[in-house]
Amino acid sequence: MKPRKIIDLSHLMFNFMPAWPTSQNFIYEQTRNAARDGSTMHVIHQMTTHTGTHIDTPLHFVVGGKTVDQLPIEAFTGEGVVIDLSHKKAGEEITVDDLSVFDQEINAGDVLMIYTGWGSKIGYTPEYLFEWPYLAEESAMYLVDKRVKAVGIDGLSIGGWDGDLPGHGPIARKGSPAETHRILLGADIILMEALTNLDRVLEGGSSNRAYFIYAPIALKGAEGGPCRALALMF
């Protein structure tokens, strides 16, 4: 069955792209050129498994948790819903009350995508790098109780920024970003971070359903990996 629309939810990757503030920069270069060498090739010199649009598997925060290669490919696809939380302010917690507005739209087994608008803010700004809306522990537990399959967000992390760099201090005011991850990943809920274009899935509504694909690079033993996330609209 052919979808009527396919929406790319992944950021374009480029040298020194904005990413988690304490991560290594993404660096790649062209080493062969077809006009000169008969073929074109690039070499990736540096990146993390959480560069750009990516997924987290349980091992990311859970000791002995499952890795990319230990999960079936079905874990990285599924039907679900995008919800519009773009009213949330910079650095504001996404509460249970925010999520419960969509209680009837979020079904057991769903892939839940949270649109905050941060995907369109990508850049080296304090707003994008540190101040995205985030899930605290109570909201994570609510989603575990809803038995969702996966959760995605268009900020750099499902949890808030709690680090302290010369450019910015902690943002998360309630709970622990690491604990938010542990709650969700401990329930074998796959996480997607640094998404974009979720507003296009909404098609002007406050929520909308689609079929999602978010398969990572198949790295043995890895706790996550870059992915090409897609929304299929039928």
Whole-structure pTM over 0.85, yes or no? Answer: yes
Q: Above 80 in pLDDT, residue 175? A: no
Q: If you ran DSSP here, which 8-state letter would residue 203 be given? A: T
Taking alpha carbons only, the member of 19, 31, 4 closest to residue 226 is 19
Question: Each residue of 65-94: pLDDT tens digit?
Answer: 999 999 999 999 999 999 999 999 999 999
Lateral strand order in the sheet of 150-153: 5-8, 230-233, 207-213, 77-84, 111-115, 150-153, 190-193, 54-56, 224-226
Nearest by Cα to 94 from 157, 167, 26 = 157
pLDDT at 201: 98
Query: What are 179-211's pLDDT values in tens digits?
Result: 999 999 999 999 999 999 999 999 999 999 999
Q: SS3 for 15-67, per residue?
A: CCCCCCCCCCCCEEEEEECHHHHCCCEEEEEECCCCCCCEEECHHHCCCCCCC
Contact 195, 119 (CB under 8 A): yes
3-state secondary structure of 192: strand
Is the pLDDT at 109 greater than 90? The verdict is yes
The secondary structure element, H or E, covering residue 80 is: strand 77-84
Tokens found for residue 76: 């990285």
- 72 vs 75, 142, 150, CA distance in Å? 6, 25, 14
Evaluate if residue 173 carries a pLDDT over 90.
no
3-state secondary structure of 200: helix
Residues whose CB falls within 8 Å of the CB of residue 18, separated by 6 or more in sequence, listed in order = 122, 123, 124, 128, 129
Distance CA 144, CA 84 (A): 20
The tokens of 22 are what?
């304490």
Model confidence over 121-155: pLDDT tens digits?
Answer: 999 999 999 999 999 899 999 999 999 999 999 99
Looking at residue 118, what is its pLDDT? 98
Collect all residues with Cβ–Cβ distance below 8 Å to 64 and sequence separation of at least 6: none
Query: What is the set of domains in the chain, with CATH numbers?
Result: 5-11+49-233 (3.50.30.50)
- pLDDT (tens digit, 9 = 90+) per residue, 214-228? 999 999 999 999 999
Q: Three-state SS for 68?
A: helix
Per-position DSSP letters for 97-129, written without gaps between them: HHHHTTTTT--TTPEEEEE-SGGGG-SSSHHHH
